[in-house]
Structure 1
Amino acid sequence: MSERNLAFVRGEMLPAREPPSGQTGLLKLLRESFFKDWLSALLTVTSLIVLIWIARSVSPWLIDSVWNANSLSECRQILGGAEGACFAVIRDRWTQLLFGFYPPTQYWRPVLAFVLMLIALAPILFPPVPRRLLWFSAAFPGLAYCLIWGGTLWLPFSAYAVFAVGAIVLGLATRLGSGVAIVLALASALAWWIFVSGSVTTVLTQLLPLALAPVTSREMGGFLLSIVIGVTGISLSLPLGIVLALGRRSKMPLVKTISVMFIEFIRGVPLITLLFTASLLLNYFLPPGTNFDLILRVIIMVTLFATAYMAEVIRGGLAALPRGQYEAAEALGLDSWKAQRL
């Protein structure tokens, strides 16, 4: 074999070399993201001009702002005709922006509730947190209600007793079948809440009167009101959304029809319309003299609105599962409830 037909194979590796200067760092970012072609360069230059113009227009308004003034007229006198923001209202009314008209002597209650909320969310959002703290996450809603609204501390106890009664009946009736057990558990929990919980709360309050000063819903506002409605709506819409998503995928016509009608109706109505209905029109359909808490009405409407969208998100996730996953569950002998849970 002649030497010209021999293939040359390198016997050692070449040392690593730095990439060309134009292929790394800021130059590469500018060339590929901001000046890739003439249109991209034109948009980049135009955006820079607009940002500079906005900064020059807004900066005097912020730099010359007034933080110490007792009234709007005094703020304008301090400015002396110059352009500037009157931020003195923020310094003077920051507590109102946070708590609304909540009694100042009771500010520690919503602050403590907010801190406890972060602790309750920790085992849910962060896996390294010990799972045994989930008991506190379950107990937090009742504790937060007592702290924010006040009143007797036995009311949340009666509410949690509803779930305890339902769980006990569900465990005792499992031998009758999952469907019958669920119906009996719901019926017993509802009967406890309607006929028994009020009497139990009254008796416990008389025996051991533990209570905080009550605060009406109309005294709440600002960040406190937003966080209460937002967190409650998100927390309640997730389990309700799961139920609606499963109902829409159900093979039972009645369950599927009700789920579809609810989801499509709520998603087709703006949230402001639902809030208007909760605030004004709902009173026309209630018996005279009924005192239905305003914040509770808003929470219900926000929860229903978020539930409809959450149901569609969950239904899309379930629809994305391959058919083989369901076939594998059937091959393993799992019933429909266990298969859906897993």
Structure 2
Amino acid sequence: MRASQSWSADMVTTSIKWLRRNLFSNWWNTGLTVLVLYVLWSAVPPFIDWAFVSAVWHGEGRAACLGPGKGACWPFVYANLDQFIYGRYPAELRWRVNVAFLLGLAGLVPMLIPRVPAKFWNLGYLVIAWPMIAIVLISGDRPGLIGVDTDLWGGLLVTLIVAITGIVASFPLGVLLALGRRSEMPVIRSLSTIFIEFWRGVPLITVLFMASVMLPLFLPREIHLDNLLRCLVGVALFSSAYMAEVVRGGLQAVPRGQIEAARALGLSYWQTMGLVVLPQALRHVIPGIVNTFIGLFKDTTLVLIVGLFDFLGQVRVQLSDMHWSTPQGAATGYVFAAFVYWVFCFGMSRYSAFMERRLNKGMVR
């Protein structure tokens, strides 16, 4: 009994010391702590009451969510969940989308686990084999499959396609551009610099608009590029310019002596970069790389201006359904969309933190 009381007293003393040291160490920190607590007290309880306590969880149509004191209208999300995920993709063919993403997930999970072997073959599957399988399954237009036009694609399907394509394409292109900008050959260095500065100086909205509306005007009439394909190319090129600057920062952090030592061992330029420089450079800029990926994932919402209904765009479309027109319908839809985006972005952030800790173990002395 005395031991338990002593342990409790020690915990209280430790907690008080922690509070004084971290939250109330001086008048400035005390004021900020009180302000933050006030903001949380003012915002969190009302949100919890609206989203959970006073929320409507079951019902058919807008009548279930109408009335004084009612909070979030979650039946609106249940009723339109298929549209949020697939858009107008035919219901009888949605199994193809599910299979495509399950195959991608089956390759991604082993790739993210460091101890799983055969990383080279796994990477080849994710970068080469799986995209071809996914394109055939989702778009169809092959013997035995019904073609589905990209105008019918929407929701989370379009968001993931644009984000995955942008991430996969922009990373290697950004690495090449970063190496080109640091090249000793003036022509390569100048072309890389011009490319990077041009795309960094143009807003993504302008890139998407030009790719969707203006690009077809400069192409021969017999050449027709799909609207989604044009947006994918624009997003990849735009993101690669930012990725190049992130990677270039990592290259500059590698000591010059590393390159000289590799050259002294007789390694070629590409061997030096691939085996010595890039592994160190990429480790230094993992937060910047993941930050670029997260920004790209959220920027997918801009494809709505060129007629592609991504996840957020599909939520906005469903809000116009008079069957679910309620005062809290818009807030419910946007909160649900924000939660979905947060799950993906938070997942990328946590995995990057895990990789940072794992890769930095060898650097701790």
TM-score w.r.t. the length of structure 2 is 0.67
Which deviations, in whole Å up to 9, do the C-alpha atoms of 1:248-286 show, x marking residues without a partner?
111222211110011011111121221122222222222
Checking the alignment, whether the CA contact within 8 Å between 1:109 and 1:147 is kept in structure 2 is yes
Q: Which residue is 1:87 aligned to? A: 74
Describe how 1:191-340 pairs up with structure 2 within 5 A. 210-288=143-221, 290-340=223-273
Alpha-carbon deviations, 1:50-95, whole Å to 9, x = none? 21111343344222222444433x245xx32334222322111100
Q: Is the alpha carbon distance of 1:252 and 1:211 closer, same or farther for their aligned partners in structure 2, counting shifts above 3 Å?
A: farther
Q: Between Structure 1 and Structure 2, how many residues are aligned?
A: 264
3-state SS in 2 of match to 1:280: helix
- Aligned equivalent of 1:30, options 12, 19, 27: 19
Query: 2 CA distance for matches of 1:251 and 1:226?
Result: 39
Paired position in structure 1 for 2:50 = 61
**Alignment of 1:49 onto 2:38:** yes
Structure 2 distance, partners of 1:24, 1:339, is 55
Question: 4+ residue runs of structure 1 moved beyond 6 angstroms?
Answer: none
8 Å CA contact 1:262, 1:308 repeated in 2: yes
Larger Rg: 1
Task: Letter of the 2:133 partner, please give it.
Answer: L
Distance in structure 1 (CA, Å) of the matches to 2:169 and 2:139 = 19
Alignment match of 1:40 (pick from 2, 8, 29): 29
Match of 1:71 in 2: 61
- Asked if the contact 1:149/1:217 (under 8 Å) is kept, the reply is yes
Once the two structures are TM-superposed, the CA of residue 135 in structure 1 deviates from its matched residue by 4.4
Could you say if the C-alpha distance between residues 22 and 60 of structure 1 is closer, same or farther in structure 2, counting changes exceeding 3 Å? closer
Distance 1:144 1:28, change over 3 A: farther
Larger mean Cα displacement after TM superposition, 287-296 or 138-147: 287-296
2:98 maps to what in 1?
111
Cα distance, 1:256–1:75 mapped onto 2, change above 3 Å = same
For residues 80 and 227 of structure 1, do their structure 2 counterparts lie closer, same or farther at Cα, with a shift above 3 Å needed? Answer: same
Q: Show CA shifts across 1:187-225 (max 9, x none).
A: xxxxxxxxxxxxxxxxxxxxxxx4421111111111111
Secondary structure at 1:212 match in 2: coil
Amino acid of the structure 2 residue aligned with 1:283: P
Which residue identity lines up with residue 67 of structure 2 in the other structure?
G
Query: Within 5 Å, which residues of 2 pair with 1:119-138?
Result: 119-131=106-118, 132-137=121-126, 138=128
Q: How far apart are the structure 2 equivalents of 1:243 and 1:232?
A: 17
Once residues 123 and 91 of structure 1 are traced to their aligned partners in structure 2, the CA distance between those partners, rounded to angstroms, is 32
Q: Cα distance 1:289–1:41, how it changes in 2: closer, same or farther (>3 A)?
A: same
CA distance in 1, matches of 2:39, 2:270: 57
The DSSP-based 3-state class of the residue aligned with 2:29 is: helix
Does the 8 A contact of 1:67 with 1:91 survive in 2?
A: no
Structure 2 residue matching 1:225: 3-state secondary structure: helix
| Gapped regions of structure 1 (runs ≥ 5) | 1-17, 153-209
Q: State the alpha-carbon separation in 2 of the partners of residues 250 and 265 from structure 1.
A: 19
Q: 1:149 matched to which residue of 2? A: 139
d(CA) in 2 for partners of 1:82 and 1:22?
42
Shift of 1:133: 3.8
Quote the Cα distance in structure 1 between the aligned partners of 2:184 and 2:33. 54
Shift of 1:315: 1.4
Q: CA distance change for structure 1 residues 28 and 269 in 2, over 3 Å: closer, same or farther? A: farther
Secondary structure class of the residue paired with 2:38: helix
CA distance in 1, matches of 2:111, 2:179: 23
Distance 1:46 1:249 in 2: 47
- The higher-RCO structure (CA 8 Å, 6+ apart) is 2
Deviation at 1:247, TM superposition (A): 1.1
Q: Which moved more, 1:234-243 or 1:51-60?
A: 51-60
- Contact 2:56 2:70 (C-alpha < 8 Å) held by counterparts: no
How far the C-alpha of 1:123 sits from its partner, in A, is 4.2
Structure 1 residue 139 corresponds to structure 2 residue 129 = yes
Deviates more, 1:55-64 or 1:223-232: 55-64
Q: 1:295 to 1:23 in 2, by over 3 A?
A: same
Cα 1:211–1:338 shift into 2, 3 Å: farther
SS at structure 2 position matched to 1:305: helix
SS in 2 for 1:333: coil
C-alpha distance 150-40 of structure 1, shift in aligned 2 (>3 A): same
